[in-house]
Amino acid sequence: MRRIPPYQTFKFKITALLVLMVMLASVLVGGASLVVAEREMRAVIGNQEMATLAGAAAYLDRDISSKQQVLRVLAEGLQATPVPHGQVQAQLEQRSGLRDEFANVAALDRHGQLIANLQDRRMVGKLNSHGRQFFRDTLAVRDSVVSAPFRSVLTGRPVVAVTQPVLGAAGAIDYVLVGTIDLQRPAFAGQLQALRGHASGKLFIVAADGTTVYHPDPTRLLAREAPGSLAHAALSGPDGWRVDLQDQGRATMLAHTRLKRVDWTIALAMPLQDVFAGMDGVRLRALGTAALAALLAGLLGWWLMRAMLAPLYQLYGRVLALGRAEGDVEQFNSARRDEFGQLSRAFYQVSRQHQTAERNLQRLATTDPLTGAHNRRMFDEFFPQALKRAIRAGQQIGLAVLDIDHFKDINDNHGHQAGDAVLVQFADRLRQAVRSTDTVARIAGDEFVIVFEHLDAAHDVNLLGEKVVAAMKAPFNVNGKALEVTASIGIALTTELPADVEKVMLAADQALYCVKAAGRNGFAVNCVGAERMLSVRDFGAPAKADKKPTWPSSRL
């Protein structure tokens, strides 16, 4: 039988299906978990960034607030003991702590004229800041203001200014103290840099008008941010974080919050790829786990399939053995309660039906349908073998050829059906007359044969002929009518003959011919017996009962 390629086997297909299903399930579950985890992680990271920014904003608010406080305390001191404008410079220089707090502290009279400058007293009188917005605002609100960032004329560095008006005795503004904060001073930049969190994070501060207050790239300081930039995005939305922005072609997470003391927004931008770098590893591990699970499932599936399909392979082996006539169909009558048991029992039933049909066919092929006796075909197969068996066993075998006398007349006078009924009864009587080991066959219309087996040498062969003749003595019952039926019988014996089928049959035929020639209704063992029978009839024995042959057999 043709061998199935391994990849076409049911086992392989089920295993492949199992592997695919496990992989699919792993990918689906893993993928869904990753999506959820990623979303959760975004929220966690976003909230972390917001907390960082809140800390940074609080730090800046405190810083500016403390600087305003320093100036306020200074202003209150100067108000308590008013000094002429010319001595303000000396007052400032006496407060050594001011240099730690500010890049520079200056004083402007009500017209914006520089009346004191801590960093460089030579500038006094040479500068007027009347046009500066923070100066005008301070005069307008009569209180401390924080300026927009600008480049200091005095230091050339980007700064913001914190102001504090000093009031005169009449309550009017006498002069304005201006403390500048260097936006590039290392302490300020260092603090903000430390707050940016992720290495690739970019922390920046932008004023409400779009001017950059702080940026890790010094060239961006004081620059106006264009619409579409991250700074613009931070200014345009409420405090919070988002992941839908691009920065230099890279998806970016932006968190931003407004300061309380000044109208600044502090923001932190980070490439999403860096934020979720850990997720790539998780993704890879999830994939690896899925592949490993699929492999294990495949191996387990293969092993399970082998174990589960073992009964099927056993069944297959039994069918093959049965095909080689090595097995018994009974072994398929399985008691298993599963599908394999069902299949085996179904095969068993079909095989049994097949066997029965075969036997019926065999029987039909070897049986005469009218009389139920064996037919010519069976006799032709059987007799040569019976002859051989008898010769091997050193036994005699007798072959009787029988012909119903004047059967044509029965047909003609009583009808064909009556003829059939005679044939059936004739066969029945023959079977009852002989032993069960003897074989009766109908070989032509009204011609029968009997094979007598297991005859020992001393057996009186005449008894065989007598038995058959006696069996036909009683009238036949045909449609309620009694009918006298006789037969002519020619018998041949093997011990007297060479073991040759043709010759045995010829001898029996010759004996039959002799009986017929002698007037029918009797038997002869070979020809001599027929002659004796003829002589009996010649002696005038008209009644059927008188025709019983009592003579000994002769030899050819």
Ligand X SMILES: Nc1nc2c(ncn2[C@@H]2O[C@H](COP(=O)(O)OP(=O)(O)OP(=O)(O)O)[C@@H](O)[C@H]2O)c(=O)[nH]1
Q: Which residues are catalytic?
A: 446
Please give the radius of gyration of the chain, using alpha carbons only, rounded to the nearest integer.
65
Residue in this structure with the two tokens 């050594």, named with its chain if needed: 96
Phi and psi for 95 in degrees, rounded to 5? -90, 90
CB 504 to ligand X: min, Å: 21
Binding mask 364-403 for ligand X (x = CB under 6 A): ------x--------------------------------x
CA distance 383 to 457: 20
Per CB under 6 A, the list member of 446, 452, 466, 494 interacting with ligand X is: 446
Residue 420 found at the interface with ligand X (CB under 6 A): yes
432: three-class secondary structure by DSSP: helix
Nearest to 230 by CA among 260, 196, 193, 256: 256
Q: Which of 470, 483, 491 is nearest to 547 (CA)?
A: 470
Residue 25 to residue 13: CA distance in whole angstroms: 18
448 lines the binding site for ligand X (CB under 6 A): no
Q: What would the DSSP string read from start to end of 250-313?
A: EEEEEEEEE-SSSSEEEEEEEEHHHHTHHHHHHHHHHHHHHHHHHHHHHHHHHHHHHHHHHHHH
**Nearer Cβ to ligand X, position 275 or 404?**
404
Q: Between residues 53 and 404, which has the closer beta carbon with respect to ligand X?
A: 404
Is 406 or 459 the residue whose CB approaches ligand X more closely?
406
Closest separation in Å from C-beta 412 to ligand X: 8
Query: What is the spatial distance between Cα 187 and Cα 59, in angstroms, rounded to a whole number?
Result: 12
Q: Which of residues 125, 168, 216, 445 is near ligand X by CB under 6 A?
A: 445
Note whether 413 binds ligand X by CB under 6 A: no
Site string for ligand X, 516-535 (x = CB under 6 A): ----x---------------
**Of the residues 423, 449, 478, 518, which one makes contact with ligand X according to CB under 6 A:** 423
Say whether residue 306 binds ligand X (CB under 6 A): no
Where b means 16+ CB within 10 Å and e means fewer, 291-313 reads eebbeebbeebbeebeeebebee
Residue 295's nearest CA partner among 6, 11, 26, 534 is 26
Question: Which residue in 407, 426, 452, 523 binds ligand X (CB under 6 A)?
Answer: 407
Q: Does residue 49 bind ligand X (CB under 6 A)? A: no
Which of 101, 174, 182, 405 binds ligand X (CB under 6 A)? It is 405
For ligand X, the closer CB: 349 or 417: 417
- Output the DSSP codes for 120-157: -GGGTTS-B-TT-HHHHHHHHHTS--BPPPEE-TTT-S
Tell me whether residue 235 or residue 422 sits nearer to ligand X (CB atom): 422
Number of other residues whose CB lies within 10 A of the CB of residue 270: 26
Tokens of 460: 């009186």
Interaction of residue 260 with ligand X, rule CB under 6 A: no
* Residue 411 binds ligand X, judged by CB under 6 A: yes
What stretch of H or E contains 114?
Answer: strand 114-117
Using the rule CB under 6 A, give the single segment among 39-47, 108-116, 413-421, 458-466 that binds ligand X. Answer: 413-421
The nearer residue to ligand X, 315 or 378, going by C-beta atoms, is 378
Give the interface segment with ligand X, choosing from 54-62, 206-214, 350-358, 414-422 (CB under 6 A): 414-422
CB of 409 to ligand X, least distance (A): 6
438 lies in the site for ligand X, by CB under 6 A: no
Determine which residue in the list 30, 271, 419, 522 makes contact with ligand X, applying CB under 6 A.
Answer: 419
Q: For residue 550, give every residue at least 6 positions away whose Cβ sits within 8 Å of its Cβ, in sequence order, or none.
A: 462, 466
Residue numbers at the binding site for ligand X (CB under 6 A): 370, 403-409, 411, 416, 419-420, 423, 445-446, 520
